[in-house]
Structure formats: structure tokens, C-alpha cells
Amino acid sequence: MSCFVIGNWKMNLLQVSAQDLVKGLVDRGAVSDDRVSVVVCPPYTLLACMHDLTAQGIMLGGQNCHHASKGAFTGEISAEMLSDLGCRYVILGHSERRRDYNESDADVGHKAKLAREAGLVPVICLGETLSERQDGATFDVIERQLRGLIDAAGIDVVASSVIAYEPVWAIGTGLAATSQQAQEVHARIREVLVGRGFTSHVPLLYGGSVTADNASELFACPDIDGALVGGASLKAEEFAKIVDHARRQPA
């Protein structure tokens, strides 16, 4: 099974700096092959000027979409619009959106359904906050988020999605989960999915301060199928090294 390295550019870059970054990735061979799927998720404004990336082996994703398919929703973007611009993936339920826009597990599930209908693969984020981890509630939180997601989206939609475990305390802090911490949550997610009757292999990515220095150890874990990368995806050399580590994992 191929492994994923997905870059979440968040609200960064303009046309010229984005083109430079992509050129840097292509020059370093950080493109998809049969071992690794390389995806970048630029802000909406850059999608149109990035759409020839696919020909170069880098797939495109959106960072969010609306939970309705169209209509009077000023300032919003639908899953179909992302698909129309050449996106194959869409990040949903990122903790920054859950926190800043009160997105619930049910909202994320509805978006995932529409994304699948538009032909996109949802990359669904979940993860606990620092205080939830300190309270020993990590597994409870993950299970609650998964349950809400599956109830709203249905097993078929989740089975054809990618799930990213992103502990909130590790995002943008430089303090990644240890490979042991990440592996135990991934194993738990896998257990819950199997318990709910999932038969397909849902790729499970880790996200939160992934760098070229810690990627290899994370990728070596049996239940980690790749990474969702924030800050390090904005630096061509660093992101290309992460892709290299993914490529070097035994199949």
C-alpha cells in the first residue's frame, strides 16, 4: 500500500512563492510514485494556478469545503468547486476549524459525504487537546469523534477516506507526539474501525510538528501510513526529505 505525505499550507503563500515552492519539490523529486502519494493543499486562491501540478506528480487538495452543495453561502466553497479545479483530496475537521468555527463531528461527517459525492477523498482530522490528554481522556475523545463522524457520514464514506490523527498540542508547537504515543492512538483508531465493521484499510496519517528529523521514526510504526504536514510543508527541502523518508519505508 502506498503511503501519503500531505502538505497543509494553511493561510500561507502567494502565487510567486507557491510556484517557487512547487518547483523546489519537483526539482528534488518529491512527487508521487507507486510508494508514496504526494499531495499539497494550498489556500483556495492558489488552486487555479496550481492545477498543472498533477501532471508533475503532485496531487492537489483543498483545506475545507462547505457542508451544503451550493446556494446562498457567501464566502464559502463547495466540494464540487474544489473538484472542478483539479483537487483530488480535501482536508476536513482540522482542529483549527473545529476550534475557530465550532465545527462538530456531525458537520465534518456531512462535509465528508458531499466530498465523496464530488469525487474527492476526504482527509479527516481528529485529535485531543493537551488538557484532554492530561486528563487521560485521549481514547475517549478519539472514539467520540470517530463515532460522530461515522454516524453522520456512514461507513462507506469513512471507509473511502483518509484519517489524520493530529493531537492539538502537537500542532505548530514543535512538540510532536512520540512515535509510541502516535502508534498507540493509531492502533486504537484501527481497533475502533474494525469493531464498527470496516473491512477496507483506511490510511491513518499522523500530523503535528512532523519534520525531516522525526518522520522516519513515525513512518516506521505499523499503524502510521503517512503524514499530514503543516509548517515543514512550506520548505521545499524539508518536505522533500519527509517524502524521501516515506519512500524508503519497507512496503
Q: Annotated active-site positions, please?
A: 94, 166
Q: Indicate whether 62 belongs to the interface with ligand 13P (CB under 6 A).
A: no
The only residue of 13, 39, 189, 228 in contact with ligand 13P, by rule CB under 6 A: 228
Cβ atoms within 10 Å of 190's Cβ, excluding its own: 17
Residue partners of 191: CB distance under 8 A and separation at least 6:
none
Residue 241 exposure: Cα atoms within 13 Å on the Cβ side: 12
CB of 195 to ligand 13P, least distance (A): 27
The only residue of 209, 212, 221, 236 in contact with ligand 13P, by rule CB under 6 A: 209
Query: Which residue lies nearer to ligand 13P by CB, 46 or 228?
Result: 228
DSSP letter for 249, please. Answer: S
Cβ-contact 204, 163 below 8 angstroms: yes
Q: Indicate whether 218 belongs to the interface with ligand 13P (CB under 6 A).
A: no
Cβ-contact 6, 228 below 8 angstroms: yes
Angstrom distance (rounded) from CA 155 to CA 200: 10
Helical ranges in the chain per DSSP H: 15-27, 44-47, 79-84, 95-100, 105-117, 130-134, 138-153, 155-159, 179-195, 215-219, 236-247
Angstrom distance (rounded) from CA 55 to CA 209: 29
Cβ-contact 39, 59 below 8 angstroms: yes
CB of 170 to ligand 13P, least distance (A): 6
Angstrom distance (rounded) from CA 229 to CA 49: 21
Q: What is the dihedral of CA 23, 244, 239, 180, to 10 degrees?
A: 170
Q: Indicate whether 231 belongs to the interface with ligand 13P (CB under 6 A).
A: yes
Stretch that binds ligand 13P, among 54-62, 113-121, 181-189, 228-236 (CB under 6 A): 228-236
Looking at residues 80 to 99 of the shown chain, list those that interact with ligand 13P (rule: CB under 6 A): 94
Query: Which residue lies nearer to ligand 13P by CB, 96 or 105?
Result: 96
CB of 166 to ligand 13P, least distance (A): 6
C-alpha cell belonging to residue 234: 512550506
Which positions from 127 to 166 touch ligand 13P by CB under 6 A, shown as an x/- string? ---------------------------------------x
Q: Indicate whether 64 belongs to the interface with ligand 13P (CB under 6 A).
A: no
CB of 64 to ligand 13P, least distance (A): 11
The residue with cell 508521487 is 32
Q: Indicate whether 230 belongs to the interface with ligand 13P (CB under 6 A).
A: yes
CB of 107 to ligand 13P, least distance (A): 18
Q: Judged by CB under 6 A, how many residues of this single chain contact ligand 13P?
A: 14
* Residues near ligand 13P, by CB under 6 A: 8, 94, 166, 171-172, 207-210, 228-232
